[in-house]
Amino acid sequence: MKRILTGDRPTGKLHIGHYFGSLQTRVKLQNSGEYEPFIEIADVQALTDNFNNPEKVRKNVREVAKDYLSVGIDPEKTTIFVQSMIPEIAELTVFYSNLVTIARLERNPTVKTEIAQKKDLFGESVTYGFLGYPVSQAADITAFEGEIIPVGEDQEPLIEQCREIVRKFNSIYGEGILKEPKAELSKSARIKGLDGNDKMGKSLGNAIYLSDSDDEITKKVMSAVTDPNRIRKDDIGNPDICMVYYYHKLFSNEEACKKCHKECMAGERGCVACKKELSNNIIEFLKPIKEKRAYYDAHPEEVDRILREGTEKARKVAKETMKKVKEAMMLNYFE
């Protein structure tokens, strides 16, 4: 069975953008029974731009694990593991670092964009670790012989970088030793923020988290950006520039969306009522997810067991890869 590798950096809880952007697809792929999925909680990668905040990373490892379990990632079908507990990934990163130039990393479009966004942290000069995170990601993928990597467009250059490293490795140390992964581009759109930002994001302060309370959801929806020209309830509105309507399309049924669009354009719908309807639908949508989460909140030992067992299973696979790699690199001196 083909292995799928995905993961997240535990820098915060996961939000609705993650749900529609990746979690939903992971659950579907998992339940198709056609693949062997691995999910990495990438704490080492999270440290590349959070090295000064280890508490945040530590705490969010378990939060992200609970997010996975609550949306339907099934530990019987998907191996969930913690990156730092697999030392083979760190070893591979060192070996691969000889196979990629600094200039190539600096040209990587994903890295370039991120460095520009992190000026506050890095100033004029980026760390060796952050610049090199695509190398460590190549180690993540190849350690588990990941063949299919579902990604958003923004992540595609990272997979290309991994493919280059694999080809270089194989050409020097032996054809077929490492498996070359394929990016599977996600068709799902990027979810916008309630504030009208092009993207919902943890660091943008515009996210609805899968674990938000009903009150938090209502409060966030009430602050959503609507048509600025609409001041009174009976003003004619333009739903196509309204974030509330945008979210209705994600969470409300077709009939409700049509009704919302029509009434807004006719000035027959107040924004407050419209927001109330939306927040109720989001609350309803998240209800089963939150129920599952409540179970794991009450059973932290079970979350730890799942992470421990997943990590043990992942480690076995990574050790097999490492054996092949060390043989090929003539680093197998003694048992």
Shortest gap between Cβ of 172 and ligand ATP (angstroms)? Answer: 31
Give the Cα separation of 252 and 281 in Å (integer).
6
Rounded (5°) CA angle 13-294-83: 40
Residue 192 or 293: the one with the smaller Cβ distance to ligand ATP is 192
Shortest gap between Cβ of 300 and ligand ATP (angstroms)? Answer: 23
Check residue 152 for interaction with ligand ATP (CB under 6 A).
yes
Residue 152 or 174: the one with the smaller Cβ distance to ligand ATP is 152
Shortest gap between Cβ of 109 and ligand ATP (angstroms)? Answer: 13
Interaction residues for ligand ATP, span 18-47 (CB under 6 A): 18, 20-22
Give the Cα separation of 208 and 247 in Å (integer).
11
Shortest gap between Cβ of 201 and ligand ATP (angstroms)? Answer: 3
Tokens, residue 54: 């280890």
At residue 6, φ and ψ (nearest 5 deg) are -135, 180
The HSE-up count of residue 96 (CA atoms within 13 Å, CB side) is 29
* Size of site (CB under 6 A) for ligand ATP: 19
Contact range with ligand ATP by CB under 6 A, out of 12-20, 136-144, 253-261, 288-296: 12-20
Instruction: Describe the crossing of helices 271-298 and 54-71 by its angle, rounded to 10 degrees.
Output: 100
Tokens, residue 142: 């190849």
Residue 64 or 86: the one with the smaller Cβ distance to ligand ATP is 64
Residue among 127, 155, 170, 238 that touches ligand ATP (CB under 6 A): 155
Residue 10 or 237: the one with the smaller Cβ distance to ligand ATP is 10
Contact range with ligand ATP by CB under 6 A, out of 138-146, 151-159, 233-241, 320-328: 151-159
Interaction residues for ligand ATP, span 161-220 (CB under 6 A): 190-191, 199-204
Give the Cα separation of 313 and 199 in Å (integer).
35
Residue 59 or 167: the one with the smaller Cβ distance to ligand ATP is 59
Contact range with ligand ATP by CB under 6 A, out of 32-40, 97-105, 134-142, 150-158: 150-158
Single-letter residue type at 130? F
Single-letter residue type at 28? K
At residue 110, φ and ψ (nearest 5 deg) are -65, -45
Which uninterrupted H or E stretch holds 80? strand 79-82
Q: Which residue is nearest to ligand ATP (CB)?
A: 21
Tokens, residue 214: 């009903």
If one counts every other C-beta atom within 10 angstroms of the C-beta of residue 209, the result is 20
| Binding-site ranges for ligand ATP (CB under 6 A) | 8-9, 11, 17-18, 20-22, 152, 154-155, 190-191, 199-204
